[in-house]
Structure 1
Amino acid sequence: MTDRFRKFIAGFGYAFQGLWYTIRTQHNARVHVIIAILVIVLGIYLRISALEFAIIFIAISGVFITEMLNTVAELCVDLASPTYHPLAKIAKDVAAGAVLANAILSIIIGLCIFGPHLWGLFFHQ
């Protein structure tokens, strides 16, 4: 095995460590994972289409990726500015706002996909 290939494979290990760090240390990331599992189970139960599942997975991934980038921003700000600074607060707030905006978009996507299925389930036999 070449050194280059070993480094390539090691990169996956580092990436999985980053995923695990986020899930282990970030409460909101754990909430996102739980909600994602519930949404996937609901999708299976409602037998949504492959295209609808693809859109749901894009939404789930978007929220989780944004949560990870928010974690990066928070850690970098804490490293660069260990004491309170108004610009540090703004940077953290903007990063958190990106997660919120993505979560709201994902809720809208979920309503668009699951709404008709749930409507049919509850109001039509």
Structure 2
Amino acid sequence: MTKVQKNVLGENLENCSNNPLTGWYRDGCCNTDENDHGIHTVCAKVNNEFLEWCKEAGNDLITPHPEFGFPGLKDGDSWCVCAGWYAKAVEAGKGCPIFLKKTHEKTLKLIPIEVLKKFAIDLS
């Protein structure tokens, strides 16, 4: 990618996680493009409550799928989750902590900044 991607605060997008290696491009960053129909743009610090809710709702983020480069997530991992799924989790009262500086600006098309700030763990 040549264009610098921006976060929800309008700043340069920061790296989300290299262990496990996350992102639409598996580059550690919540970058996206028009092919990312899931909009994997929210850098979440997942917890067990969020992971269990996702699995019950039909989005299993716990079970590894090495064929897709997916290690399976555990409590405390940082991961670029789908903005739509994160929005559903918030509605269900299961939103987990997120990093605004690592969350792509495209997320704002689905989730207002005011909502995101309620879950932010990187605002000083």
Higher relative contact order (CA 8 A, sep 6+): 2
The TM-score bracket by the shorter chain reads under 0.3
TM-score (norm. length: structure 1): 0.23
Higher strand share: 2
Specify which structure has the higher proportion of helix.
1
